Structure 1
Amino acid sequence: MAVLTARLFRGYFGGSWLGRITKNGEFQREVVFNWPVAFDVHSAIGPEEGLKAPPGSGFYDDTRKVYIAGWHQDVKRWCMSWFNEFGGYGNTQWTSQERVNGKTVIYGFCTECKQESDDPTNHIVLCEILDKDHFKYSIRSFRKGLVEIEARRIRTAERLKSLMKQQDDAIELFTDILK
């Protein structure tokens, strides 16, 4: 297996993605993921040597969950953590990668707790990078069965950052008008 690198995550996943979620083959819903900053030259958790984590790094989706991601140099893993409004949390750690039939496949594991009173559950995760604008994420466990997200890029990281900057500028302008 090839050594996992932060460059893979920073170079590929930035931008907006539309994902189609299925559980055990049955359609559940669609979700939009926006990954604006966490995949830039900085990371939000465990920045590589010589880098600083900028404030507000992270990504979010339309379920209003907050995610933080970054490179852990000491274990050479890309780690993602999330928290939700019910006191739930989770952590995914991507540990290795390899090329299979011309596709990059990333392997890892996940621990999650849906809400504060639940016991944590463990899952096996993998992500197949199908091409520059498509990936398939799979999470498998005894409790959950097989959950898959097939995602396609709907906006590049540069376009997403531009839209966010325009939104920030509009808020700033509105605030100035109110003064």
Structure 2
Amino acid sequence: MAELTAKLFRGYFGGSWLGKITKNGEFLREILFNWPIAFEKYSSIGTEVGLITPPGSGFYDDTNKVCVAGWREDSKRWCMTWFNEFGGYGETQWTSQENVNGVTVLFGFCKECKQESDDLTHHIVLCEMTDQDNFKYRINSFKKGLVEIEAHRIRTAEELKSLMLVHNIEVELFTDISKYS
């Protein structure tokens, strides 16, 4: 198996993605998520109200989440940690990669707690990066079953960053205008 690199994650996942979620083969819903800052030391995905991702499009489920991701040099792993409005949290660590028939496959594990009072659950995760604009993510556990997200890129990281800059300027202009109304 090939060693993971931070460059792989920063270069691939930046941008906006539209995906469809299935659980045990049954379609659940579509999901939109943004990974706006894939060029810095750390990256984040935000699904709180008021950000680019529309309300109700929580990552994996219908909770609002904030996710921070980054490279952990000491263990050579890409780690993502998230928190939701119910006191829940989780962490995914990508541990290795392999090329299978021209498809990059990432392997890892995940632990999560949906809300503050829940027990921690453990999952196996796998991501097939079929080309530069498509991937299939699988999370599998005894408790959850098999959840799959098939996603395709709808915006590059550069396009998303430009959109966010324009969006921030519009918010600033609206704020300035509302001061004088």
Q: What TM-score do you get using the length of structure 1 for normalisation? A: 0.89
Q: What letter is aligned with 1:151?
A: A
What is the Cα-based RMSD across aligned positions, in Å? Answer: 1.0
SS at match of 2:118: coil
Is this contact kept in 1: 2:90–2:113, CA < 8 A?
yes
Q: What letter is aligned with 2:159?
A: R
* 1:54-73 equivalence runs, <5 A: 57-61=43-47, 62-63=57-58, 64-73=64-73
Name the structure 1 match of 2:61.
none
Is this contact kept in 1: 2:41–2:71, CA < 8 A?
no
> Runs of at least 4 residues of structure 1 off by over 4 A?
none
> Identity of counterpart residues, as a percentage?
69
Distance 1:36 1:90 in 2: 20
How far residue 58 of structure 1 moved from its aligned partner, in angstroms, is 1.2
Distance 2:131 2:46 in 1: 23
SS at match of 1:58: strand
Distance 1:176 1:28 in 2: 41
* 1:90-169 equivalence runs, <5 A: 90-169=90-169
Which of 169-178 and 86-95 deviates more?
Answer: 169-178
Distance 1:60 1:41 in 2: 16
Q: How many residues align?
A: 165
How far residue 175 of structure 1 moved from its aligned partner, in angstroms, is 2.2
Q: What letter is aligned with 1:145?
A: G
Name the structure 1 match of 2:52.
none
Which of 59-68 and 128-137 deviates more?
Answer: 59-68
Q: What letter is aligned with 1:128?
A: E
How far residue 176 of structure 1 moved from its aligned partner, in angstroms, is 2.3
Distance 1:72 1:4 in 2: 11
String of CA shifts for 1:16-44, please: whole Å, max 9, x gaps. 0011000000001111010001x21321x
Q: What letter is aligned with 1:42?
A: K
**Structure 2 gap ranges (5+):** 48-56, 59-63
Name the structure 2 match of 1:50.
none
